[in-house]
Chain A
């Protein structure tokens, strides 16, 4: 695993240890009505970074701007220290891109396709052939790579898409919804593959997804955007830590317990059949235990839930309704923009 760069690290002298992507006040409007990106300022560091947001949040637009395929309306962005508008050519030399949608011709074999796109990345023919074979092996396609792509399953097609992004030996991979259309086993396999490329191949990865639970599994960092604006950019551990809560369920007397916990200043919230309490410190466990014991209620369950990142986005997220003990509690705590810098 590459050492996780911390937020405090200075922007860098070397691309691999510093910010691989820096966007400043990046705005993209289509016409006058549609705003895909709205003053987005964010930095992405080496390692695997999850770019999460609902459909239409601006993930794909951001990736296309980074590749120099779209011009921003205003603001600027740098990839590997190069300006996206002026230097898109150099960026595309160093970057592999896996599009969201199906993009493979059915009537050629995976070997032919990946070799061809190796050549399109500037590799001479022999090198392109070698690297195509390597890339396809890395993504787990062996004998089937000589078959026409039209005969492949969705999972195999996704692997070919990843292989063609990898064939040019990029420093940065931009993956747009790589688990699209895969079954649970396929998702796990694809995520393992991405994690392996990120950790063992020394390639930085930006992986866009609307399925936030997945991102959590493989990413070092998280960039959450919504409506073209930055929601949050942080290391994955601090994101999940900030949202840790305790679920308490009793057989009966939920209201009594709620009142008791409220009196202790824990501000519980009803959630399904239980109560959610924000886990600010270990004393919370003691307080809950004492309350339950004092009331003599039959405790069914007491469980620490690591709040999924999904809940950052849920407008009606129950956890947001918990008035936490601190003054900073409230909806703002989870949905407020916390830019890295």
Chain B
């Protein structure tokens, strides 16, 4: 085979003799015999490509406006907190590692997921680019897998980088290793909880976005359910509290306790409440988190796992079946 190929890949015409440069040489067809990446390398390349796409990198300036704006918005509390500490040393930080600023995080991540998830998956559906991917040496599952990893990473950047900024700001104001250690111990759970946000929102966002190739429809398909479920969860929680009243001290009614399961954001809030309960941070949790869980904290944990798994499973199933017309 090689002898045949070598002769075939010789230049069709010898390169023209160049006098003063500027002559285009017909170098003929060149074979590629060097190393190739296997499946992991290709998936990594697709992941990196998709991660960049989530922030509008590799596309026009317009595509970068919203992700950059949202990212700056997410970082603002950390910066403000740091500046506040610098001006008034010894004051208590107002931003926590766990929930950060829940309302800001909810709004910013809702917009980020709704706007950027379609860039990762809907665009390829709309332009029928998928056949080009599936004709490459990857398996069907590799495409949604790379997209999921990329988008979880993108959400992590949105959520965790502000936490790290907050940590750096706090640590620079602290004195003594014990205080630094205390900050570090608080940061750890915050990062983990941020990971839960990224995983749940990225998987739900991609699943909804992969339903349609039209960008506007995809944005609506993500934004509308996320927004209205969040509102509904709050309304039901209020109704639960006011109509049925608390069953006892620290024991809200079942409706109030379970209403938070409706929306991913209140679901995540409930998970935090459930995890914080043993630490006895009720006061702080009350302050930062609207979700009421009562005795049903474990339900929030279970629903979080089930919903995340279902969204990821649905995403993979979607690409097993997707047409490659």
Contact = CB atoms under 8 A, between A and B. Distances in A.
Interface of A: 2, 14-17, 64, 67, 69, 89-90, 92-93, 95-97, 99, 101-108, 112, 116-117, 119-125, 127, 131, 134, 138, 164, 168-169, 196-197, 200-202
Nearest to A103: B128
- Chain A CB count within 10 A is highest, among B32, B37, B42, B46, for B32
B61 to A, nearest CB: 12
Given A102-B127, A103-B131, A120 B46 contact: yes
A164 B124 CA distance: 16
Contacts of A168: 32, 136
B228 interface: no
B58 A89 contact: no
A310 B35 CA distance: 45
Contacts of B1: 14-17
Contact of A119 (B42, B58, B324): B42
17 contacts: A2-B4, A104-B129, A105-B127, A112-B58, A119-B37, A119-B42, A119-B45, A120-B42, A120-B132, A120-B133, A122-B136, A122-B137, A124-B34, A124-B37, A164-B132, A196-B12, A201-B8
Contacts of B46: 119-120
Nearest to B131: A99
A124 B35 contact: yes
A299 B238 CA distance: 100
A108 B28 CA distance: 27
A103 B127 contact: yes
Chain B interface helix/strand/loop/mixed: loop
Given A119-B42, A122-B137, A123-B36, 9 more contacts: A16-B4, A69-B324, A97-B135, A107-B59, A107-B60, A121-B36, A200-B8, A202-B8, A202-B9
B30 interface: yes
Chain B: interface size category: 35 or more
B5 interface: yes
B38 interface: yes
A73 B233 CA distance: 49
Nearest to A161: B132
B136 A117 contact: yes
A306 B138 CA distance: 45
B32 A123 contact: yes
A169 B131 CA distance: 18
Contact of B127 (A104, A131, A200): A104
Contacts of B123: 105
Contacts of A104: 127, 129
A200 B29 contact: yes
Given A93-B36, A122-B36, A134-B30, A102 B9 contact: no
B186 interface: no
A102 B134 CA distance: 15
B135 A127 contact: no
Contacts of A123: 32, 36-37
A123 B124 CA distance: 21
B128 A101 contact: yes
B26 to A, nearest CB: 9
B128 A122 contact: no
A64 B324 contact: yes
B128 A16 contact: no
B281 to A, nearest CB: 47
Contacts of A106: 127
B139 interface: yes
B31 interface: yes
A122 B37 contact: yes
Contacts of A134: 29-30
Contact of B137 (A16, A89, A102, A108): A89
A103 B29 contact: no
A202 B5 contact: yes
Nearest to B10: A200
- Chain A CB count within 10 A is highest, among B4, B133, B139, for B4
B177 interface: no
Contacts of B41: 122
B214 interface: no
A105 B119 CA distance: 11
Contacts of A116: 49
Contact of B129 (A93, A96, A103, A127): A103
B325 interface: yes
Given A92-B135, A121-B137, A169 B32 contact: yes
Contacts of A67: 134-135
Contacts of B39: 89
Contacts of B29: 134, 138, 197, 200-202
B7 to A, nearest CB: 8
Nearest to B32: A169
A117 B136 CA distance: 8
Contact of B128 (A89, A102, A121, A200): A102
B34 A97 contact: no
Nearest to B134: A69
Contacts of A201: 8-9, 29
Contacts of B129: 103-105
Contact of A99 (B7, B31, B132, B139): B132
